Every structure is written in C-alpha cells, then in structure tokens.
Amino acid sequence: MKEYRCNKKMFFWKVTIPALFALFLLVICAVVSFYSNYRLLLGLVGLVCIYVIWNTVVTSSYPDRIVIRDKSIAFFSYGNCQEYFFDQIKQFRVRDAFYSKDMFIRINDPAFYKGRFWLNADYFNQGEELHRFILTLEYKIHPSSLKAMARKR
C-alpha cells in the first residue's frame, strides 16, 4: 500500500479557502438579491458558487489523500472516499499539463458526482512518483491510445 498526502497548507489555500469564499459569496448573493434589481446577475454568480462548492465538497473532486493498494486506487477528500478497483476500471483518462504536474483525471463514466479529480502532483509527498504512476496506469488501461503510442517512441 502506498499513500500520498497533499501538503495541508497548500490544500487549505488552493481548495478550502476558495470553497469557503464561494459559500460566503453565495450567502451574500442570496441576501442582496432580495433588495437589488440585479437578480439575474446575482443568480448567475450564485450558480457559479454552487458549482464550486459542489465540486469541492460534495463530489470530492480535489483529493487531499490518494491511497494505492495492490488492487485499487482510492481518492479521499473532506471525509469522502471514492475507491476504484483496477479490474473494474474501463476508462482512465488523464489530461495533464505540459509544464506542471496538474492533472484532470476521469475514471470510468465520470458523472456529475463522481469519477472526476483535479490534482497537482507537486503538492503531494513523493509527487513525481504519483505523477508517473497515474500516467503509467492510463497507458496500461489504454495501450493503443495516441498518448501511449507517443510515449513508446
């Protein structure tokens, strides 16, 4: 079993603070919309805030801990856990940034409430190893993809 933990300070500033700010802004939008003529604009801002809170807290799209076992990978965030067994993963797509270790991971058929994860491997202990493992897992699951063929060259 291998466990990767996100730097608590970075997780707080990059994930928790924006979610708290979105919650604060949502409350402000709700209160001000009763007294303002800008209800449509405040409603749109409120929808963006709801989306940020949903992604951060409800769907746990920003993991603070990743546990890799012999037969599974688990993503933990705010007390929630999403575990995927390797033999049950049909799709594992990674969109990684060229100059950083930012990754957007989609597992199986990602829904609005599960299967989507944003992470930056630089913020995790042994981040280089985690980054390599995730990319290698994608290549193992999809050996005939263009990314896998380009990697072989």
Burial class (CB in 10 A: 0-12, 13-18, 19+), 70: exposed
* Beta strands at 2-5 and 72-77: parallel, antiparallel or unpaired: unpaired
Question: Which residues, 6 or more positions from 130, have their beta carbon under 8 angstroms from its beta carbon?
Answer: 4, 66, 121, 124
Q: Which domain holds residue 43?
A: 1-153
66 neighbors 124 (Cβ within 8 angstroms): yes
Query: Mean pLDDT over residues 68-81, rounded?
Result: 94
Model-level pTM? 0.88
Q: What is the pLDDT of residues 10-63, one digit of tens each?
A: 999 999 999 999 999 999 999 999 888 899 999 999 999 999 999 998 888 999
- Above pLDDT 90, what percent of the chain? 69
Domain count, the chain: 1
Angle of the 17-33 helix axis to the 39-53 helix axis, nearest 10: 150
